[in-house]
Amino acid sequence: MKNSSIRVFDDLSGLVRRDINPYLLKLEEAREKKMPIVFGPSLKDKKGKWLDYIRKDKKSPQPSKLIVEIGVHMGQVFCQLAKDHPNWGFVGLDITFKRVYSTCEKLVKNKIVNAVSVLADASYLEEIFSINEIDGVIIFFPDPWDKKRRQTKNRLINNDFCKTMSRLIKPGGFFWMKTDSQNYFLEVSNLIGSISDFKKSNHSDIGKDYPSIFQTRFQEKNIGFYNCIWVK
Ligand SMILES: C[S@@+](CC[C@H](N)C(=O)[O-])C[C@H]1O[C@@H](n2cnc3c(N)ncnc32)[C@H](O)[C@@H]1O
């Protein structure tokens, strides 16, 4: 998925060699087994309908909020969030086949039914979700692309992405970011600050902190990080 020639709705079966990335087969098997995983063309019809899709049993009430975590890694925070908020629906995005599969496996292992693991590049967010569909976006430790000045163009959270979030997040919803990169944090603060409908806040509806793998790694090395919530 890191291959930029692959677009989010592409059918991966003809584009990715199974001998090179064995996780494609695992993703396909997981989908056949109806595990909570979505990728490729089947992402298309979920836009605007995620909560309905997550509610497997149509007799049960629809989840009341839709939370999207971007860059779920191996799903540690994602699974805990979904477990702690059984009446909400969760969509977890990552671009790495192995991480998307592992997150899906964890959901099944922990019998978490209100969440789905999605293989998608979050720069396609507007193609995956509709306007005002999302109650909260969580991005913990996005790749900072800090080493060389010219790499900053690779950052996910840029001006266009912030504008997209302001369209997709409903009024009262939130964007929660953590990063160890001062430079990235200041840039995002400025961008979000310039969008008048977001205000800095001390808390989200989530209610408590969820230390991620990267957060723990930095804390073990006594490296500080920025932690900020903006509410729309
Ligand atoms: C530095 S890791 C942080 C992982 C986790 N959030 C944490 O805090 O421990 C960044 C994660 O974002 C994923 N990622 C990077 N670019 C992405 C994109 N454009 N869309 C979705 N996921 C992305 C990576 O595969 C990786 O799992």
Active-site residue set: 143
User: Which residue lies with its CA nearest to atom 14 of ligand 1?
Assistant: 71
Contact call for residues 121 and 95 (beta carbons, < 8 A):
yes
Closest atom of ligand 1 to 217 CA is 9
Query: In terms of domains, do 122 and 193 share one?
Result: no
- How far apart CA 203 and CA 212 sit, in angstroms, is 17
Look at ligand 1, atom 12, and give the residue with the nearest C-alpha.
71
Q: Does the residue 48 lie in any domain? A: no
Pair 76, 174 in one domain: no
Identify the residue whose tokens are 């086949």.
97
Residue 50 lies in a domain: no
Best residue among 8, 126, 129, 214 to mutate for probing ligand 1's pocket (most ligand atoms within 8 Å of CB) is 214
Together in a domain, 23 and 103: yes
Ligand 1 atom at shortest distance from the alpha carbon of 93: 21
Q: What is the reported pTM?
A: 0.95
Same domain? For 157 and 108 the reply is no
| Nearest atom (ligand 1) to Cα of 216 | 9
Residues 168 and 124 in one domain: no
Domain holding 175, by residue range, is 131-232
In terms of domains, do 86 and 191 share one? no
The answer on 90 and 14 residing in a single domain is: yes
Residues 100 and 151 in one domain: no
In a domain, 193, yes or no: yes
Residue 62 lies in a domain: no
Number of domains the chain is built from: 2
Which residues have CB under 6 Å of ligand 1?
Answer: 70-71, 73, 93-96, 99, 121-123, 140-143, 156, 212-215
Among 94, 124, 139, 227, the mutation site with the greatest number of ligand 1 atoms within 8 A of its Cβ is 94
Domain limit, last residue, from 112, 128, 144: 128
Per-residue pLDDT of the chain (232 residues; tens, 9 = 90+): 444 567 888 888 877 777 778 899 999 999 999 999 999 999 999 999 999 999 877 777 889 999 999 999 999 999 999 999 999 999 999 999 999 999 999 999 999 999 999 999 999 999 999 999 999 999 999 998 887 777 788 899 999 999 999 999 999 999 999 999 999 999 999 999 898 889 999 888 888 999 999 999 999 999 999 999 999 9
Domain boundary pick from 128, 155, 176: 128
Q: Would you say how long the chain is, in residues?
A: 232
| Whether residues 141 and 83 fall in one domain | no
Q: Report residue 64: phi and psi, to 5°.
A: -85, -20
Domain-located, residue 27:
yes
Concatenate the DSSP letters of all residues of the chain into one string.
---TTS-TT--GGGTS-TTT-THHHHHHHHHHTT-SEEEGGGGGGGTT-HHHHH--STTSPPPS-EEEEE--TTSHHHHHHHHH-TTSEEEEEES-HHHHHHHHHHHHHTT--SEEEEE--GGGHHHHS-TT-EEEEEEES-----SSGGGGGG-SSSHHHHHHHHHHEEEEEEEEEEES-HHHHHHHHHHHHTSTT-EEES--TT-S----HHHHHHHHTT---EEEEEE-
Q: Does one domain contain both 82 and 115?
A: yes
